[in-house]
Amino acid sequence: MKHGINTIDDFNVRGKTVLLRVDINEPVDKEKNRLKDLTRIEGCIPTIKELSDKGAKVVILAHQGSDIEYQSYYDLSLHAQVIHELTGKPLEFVPDVCGPYAQKKINELNEGEIILLDNVRFMAEEMTLFETKLNLTFEQQAQTLVVRKLAPLADLYVCDAFAAAHRSQPTLVGFQQVLPSAMGRLFEKEYTIISDILKSPKRPCVFVLGGAKIQDAFLMMDKVLKEGTADLVLTGGLVANIVMVAKDIDIGKASEDFIYKKNLGECIDMARQILYAYGDKILTPVDFAYVEDDVRHEVAVGDIPQDKLLIDIGAKTIARFEQIIHEAGTVFMNGPMGVFEKKPSEAGTKAIWEAAADTKGYSVIGGGDSVAAANLFGVSDQIGYICTGGGALVRFLSGEELPVVKALKGAAN
């Protein structure tokens, strides 16, 4: 038991059928039919191996998103191959989620054997309950088909999907209502590390916030400044552009319009309120970069053209941020500094990610694209902790009780 949640140590799993929910949602290269990054799969390998080594009958449940929002989900055959290679154990991919074929395969398992069921998002209930405002109770989640069909075949539910801990969905919160439940080793590790950082970060604690999917970034910024977790917030990416507008500093019409086009207009109001309370702790760039015909141009604040999208931080800002990061006790990074996927606008993210790799302090990177950037720039090994979760991490740091944590705690009582 740790953090009020059962761990694998609390159960004797030999001969037991264990439903193991993992988050192995990875970027997929559709043309080459392969997975582009394996960070999350690698993360849950220790739990899979341990359960199998201890003689459990392991039934893995997982989802894979798609590149088009909520359409054309991939099956998990590619993932099965990777898990097989990384565990060095035989593993059967079962192209069914909870129908008669999946049930038969589960019943036929022997000690130590592993199967991977198909993408749980093929199930309508998993999908319709996903990020909707239905707000079903955990008890209602337990009434879904997948839980009703699979729970009776199992002895234990283990959740290792920390990256999905902010989602209230049948396979993430339903089984805890009807089965003994535990968190897996990756979940345990990630939850422990971020809880510790939140409780007692080494000072100064610097948050570096950027990126483009940032609805939650300002909630988090507010919380970590209010609680005193963050001593300083460095901004890049669209976060910086928004804070600049909130400060009434001209970033050009094109960049300002882009914020509204992305439906991030209300973030400007949030940023205003945060600035009012903690303005002295939030640093914005002093220069930016835009790209024209594949050529990078840098401009100082005050000279920003009206018709150019600001897609990276400039050299002066980089130098200033680097120095702060080098001297930090804790550096937490979520969201890249610019459009790092393109060469002319990679400099900001590359330099800041390298600074985090070199810092004397403890560095944490979370978020799918942020982790991809760490891999791209070859700094992953020098980062203190690479979090598999983006949304989960941000919501946790915003002070939200994560649904999966709540369900696991409930099951331990």
> What DSSP assignment string belongs to 249-294?
----HHHHHHHHHTT-HHHHHHHHHHHHHHGGGEE--SEEEEEETT
Alpha-carbon span 18 to 56, nearest angstrom: 6
Residue 216 contact, options ligand ADP, Mg ion, none, Cβ 5-8 Å cut-off depending on partner type: none
Residue with smaller CB distance to ligand ADP, 20 or 233:
233
Pairing of strands 156-159, 114-117: unpaired
Residue with smaller CB distance to ligand ADP, 48 or 242:
242
Token couple for 336: 């890249």
Which residues, in sequence order, are bridge partners of residue 291?
Answer: 296
Count other C-beta atoms under 10 Å from residue 107's C-beta.
10
Residue with smaller CB distance to Mg ion, 216 or 231:
216
Residue 409 contact, options Mg ion, ligand ADP, none, Cβ 5-8 Å cut-off depending on partner type: none
Residues 6+ apart with CB under 8 A from 42: 86
Q: Which residue from 79, 68, 6 is spatially nearest to 44, judged by alpha carbons? A: 79
Alpha-carbon span 91 to 200, nearest angstrom: 41
What is the distance of C-alpha 327 from the center of its chain? 26
> Does 53 contact ligand ADP by CB under 6 A?
no
Residues 361 to 390 in contact with Mg ion, rule: CB under 5 A: 368-369
Token couple for 34: 């392969």
- Rounded to the nearest whole angstrom, what is the least distance from the CB of residue 388 to ligand ADP in the complex? 12
Q: Which residue has the tokens 């449940």?
A: 61
Residues 6+ apart with CB under 8 A from 101: 94, 95
Using CB under 6 A, pick the residue from 65, 335, 344, 389 that binds ligand ADP.
Answer: 335
> Under a CB-based contact definition with an 8 Å cutoff, are residues 187 and 402 in contact?
no
Residue with smaller CB distance to ligand ADP, 35 or 83:
35
Residue 257 contact, options Mg ion, ligand ADP, none, Cβ 5-8 Å cut-off depending on partner type: none
Residue 388 contact, options ligand ADP, Mg ion, none, Cβ 5-8 Å cut-off depending on partner type: none
Residues 235 to 264 in contact with ligand ADP, rule: CB under 6 A: 237-238, 241
> Under a CB-based contact definition with an 8 Å cutoff, are residues 407 and 173 in contact?
yes
> Does 336 contact ligand ADP by CB under 6 A?
yes
> Under a CB-based contact definition with an 8 Å cutoff, are residues 264 and 239 in contact?
no
Draw the binding track, 346-385, toward ligand ADP (x: CB under 6 A; -: no contact): ---------------------xxxx---------------
Using CB under 6 A, pick the residue from 339, 351, 352, 379 that binds ligand ADP.
Answer: 339
Residue with smaller CB distance to Mg ion, 383 or 393:
393
Alpha-carbon span 52 to 395, nearest angstrom: 32
Residue with smaller CB distance to Mg ion, 231 or 369:
369
3-state secondary structure of 408: helix
- Rounded to the nearest whole angstrom, what is the least distance from the CB of residue 45 to ligand ADP in the complex? 22
Residues 6+ apart with CB under 8 A from 239: 209, 210, 211, 214, 217, 218, 335
Helix (H) or strand (E) run with residue 149 in it: helix 145-150
> Does 216 contact Mg ion by CB under 5 A?
no
Using CB under 6 A, pick the residue from 334, 359, 363, 388 that binds ligand ADP.
Answer: 334
Residues 182 to 211 in contact with ligand ADP, rule: CB under 6 A: 210-211
Draw the binding track, 84-113, toward ligand ADP (x: CB under 6 A; -: no contact): ------------------------------
Using CB under 6 A, pick the residue from 184, 338, 344, 361 that binds ligand ADP.
Answer: 338
Residue 401 contact, options Mg ion, ligand ADP, none, Cβ 5-8 Å cut-off depending on partner type: none
- Rounded to the nearest whole angstrom, what is the least distance from the CB of residue 317 to ligand ADP in the complex? 12
Using CB under 6 A, pick the residue from 212, 254, 286, 299 that binds ligand ADP.
Answer: 212
The amino acid occupying position 143 is Q
Residues that bind Mg ion (CB under 5 A): 368-369
Residues that bind ligand ADP (CB under 6 A): 210-214, 237-238, 241, 310-311, 334-336, 338-339, 341, 367-370, 390
